[in-house]
Structure 1
């Protein structure tokens, strides 16, 4: 296992190791399974037999625990970034320690929630697909080494809106290739599809979530802890606040969101401790916006959702290091994305037309 700590943190860790019995070796900063199962399953099947991909592929690189390694072996991760080498250093405000987000972030999220509740609604039926076009760049470096960024590239996804369970979830188009999003099936086992839910958030499932922020946080916590990845993570390695923030961010990224649900998610985020403002965040398309951010102090990075400063419309996401790690120096970008278009379409590979409703940012 590679040690990502340095300086005082390393000295403290070595002293603890000397005084305490050696812990069971782990290969992952805690609680990260939920964000990396999707990438792992895609890469397993790129080996040969099956084309398995999951839609959420924009998380920073970490090592996979032994339980995850049993699923498929090597994990390489995709990171979304721009061609820039670094991001502004985190603000002095740091991570809040109150029971909810600091007042500035809470006020901003309340404004964003109000705008989201009044946005136009695109309501797909079960025979249609949610289409989302984004701009990303990827890390081609080793998962435990310095970030090596590609040029920004376009990515399209089509996600079925069937309630499920389904084994054929949709399609990804990237780098000139179409990659089916299918559920991997071990040899000799019966296919078991994914129902609509946290791992496959259809419009209908999103609309079924509670709109009371506290009830919504409790529902998400239940969904997270019943997810297979969470079950594979020891309780002592979990961070409910981090998981809630990351899960909301994932739900915002490649979905068409019911307005009431979007509003509730933003109001719920305002109740997560440690959420702050990131005053000038830039997405993968170069658009400047205002960020809603939270630090993962254990992993050493900050993740920010980016919103248009005038319309408060969601633009994308970025992550950058808040301290020196094996991935790079403090301020290094490790994740950036930009949502360019969302729509409801009738078939795989169909793109929004002038005669059909779509949202272009």
Structure 2
């Protein structure tokens, strides 16, 4: 490798050096710093960026059918997992701040660093009779579909997700706005109840741990799972886009699960291979915490979503989505939704909280 970069390439190199936290010597094995430098220089020296695929509208893929009240409470999640690119940024406001996103080459370097940190986190022991508990803040669009955005919240949300391999009919419980809403599998009239097994739409800790840890193998596995799910839902082929669907799926897996370290690392490494993924230098979650975002633009839908990470520890904080052009939902820069994960834990029963378990 060489250091004879100049002009835009040198500027990009210096910007990435500023954005990425300085790695701690005691946390990285010998040669790891050289690896990061080589990775960065190799990406900068590439002659062309990976092509950006044609995105499709964000399709909601709920794992279960909820009662009307449950759908209302869960509505804040409808748009929190889409995308981000490198050519647009939200207008500065009290709710959202932004700066121009860097190129996809910078996202690969950042995701490699995030994966390295995630892999060192503690492994959890989760039994099939337990529940994964996640407490978060959620702000979402309370307006009509396709109409002007009416941002709600933020309000606190708690979920308890069953860890049985399945199939199960009772998948968990949501607590939000003072109500407890069971997450149950919908059963059409006259049909026999069929439970939901662990999988992409009900990602238990054990199922997540079973996923390939090689990024390329993981991308193939996710592609198979996504296609199977879309076929089951009769999703039109014209509304499918491999790259966008994969980005969305990884984001959904990060949201309200407890992630095995090796799986988390592999997911971040896999995300780095998705065309169009870039860095959002200053992203703010629903708790007001500033961080660095990994994002992708859904140009057909007209919005960008970033997964937000602490810029020092690289811990996952939450997500935000905002419009990247003027649409019927509002002006460019309008915030659509934002989340903030406050707590993750394993508990023994529904409505049980980590403090009571301890």
TM range (shorter): 0.7 to 0.9
CA distance in 2, matches of 1:38, 1:213: 24
> Aligned residue for 2:35?
none
1:85 CA drift (Å):
6.6
Name stretches of at least 5 consecutive residues in structure 1 with no aligned partner. 1-28, 62-83, 97-101, 357-361
Q: Tell me how large the CA RMSD over aligned residues is.
A: 2.3
> Aligned residue for 2:138?
136
1:60 CA drift (Å):
2.4
Q: Residue 194 and residue 354 in structure 1: after superposition, are their counterparts in 2 closer, same or farther (change >3 A)? A: closer
1:326 matches 2:348? no
Q: Residue 303 and residue 111 in structure 1: after superposition, are their counterparts in 2 closer, same or farther (change >3 A)? A: same
- For 2:217, what is the secondary structure of its paired residue? helix
CA distance in 2, matches of 1:56, 1:157: 14
CA distance in 2, matches of 1:55, 1:126: 25
Superposition map of 1:96-245 within 5 A? 102-228=104-230, 231-245=233-247
Name stretches of at least 5 consecutive residues in structure 2 with no aligned partner. 1-54, 81-92
Superposition map of 1:63-74 within 5 A? none
Q: Residue 322 and residue 56 in structure 1: after superposition, are their counterparts in 2 closer, same or farther (change >3 A)? A: same
Q: Is the 8 A contact 1:183 1:193 kept in 2?
A: yes
1:139 CA drift (Å):
1.9
61, 68, 78: which one aligns with 1:46? 68
47, 58, 62: which one aligns with 1:32? 58
CA distance in 2, matches of 1:92, 1:283: 17
Q: Is the 8 A contact 1:46 1:52 kept in 2?
A: yes
55, 60, 66: which one aligns with 2:79? 60
Higher RCO (CA-CA < 8 Å; seq separation 6+): 2
Q: Is the 8 A contact 1:162 1:196 kept in 2?
A: yes
Deviations, residues 1-33 of structure 1 (Å, cap 9, x unaligned): xxxxxxxxxxxxxxxxxxxxxxxxxxxx94633
1:37 CA drift (Å):
3.3
Q: Is the 8 A contact 2:56 2:298 kept in 1?
A: no
Q: Residue 111 and residue 89 in structure 1: after superposition, are their counterparts in 2 closer, same or farther (change >3 A)? A: closer
> Aligned residue for 1:17?
none
1:335 CA drift (Å):
1.4
TM-score, normalised on structure 1?
0.76
Q: Residue 85 and residue 140 in structure 1: after superposition, are their counterparts in 2 closer, same or farther (change >3 A)? A: farther
Q: Is the 8 A contact 2:98 2:281 kept in 1?
A: no
Q: Is the 8 A contact 2:322 2:333 kept in 1?
A: yes
1:208 CA drift (Å):
0.5
> Aligned residue for 1:350?
352
CA distance in 2, matches of 1:278, 1:197: 30
Q: Is the 8 A contact 1:203 1:256 kept in 2?
A: yes
CA distance in 2, matches of 1:56, 1:120: 32
Superposition map of 1:10-25 within 5 A? none
CA distance in 2, matches of 1:32, 1:230: 17
Deviating 4+ runs (over 6 angstroms): 51-56
1:57 CA drift (Å):
5.4
230-239 or 285-294, larger mean C-alpha shift: 230-239
* Count of residues paired in the alignment: 292
Q: Residue 341 and residue 38 in structure 1: after superposition, are their counterparts in 2 closer, same or farther (change >3 A)? A: same
- For 2:339, what is the secondary structure of its paired residue? strand
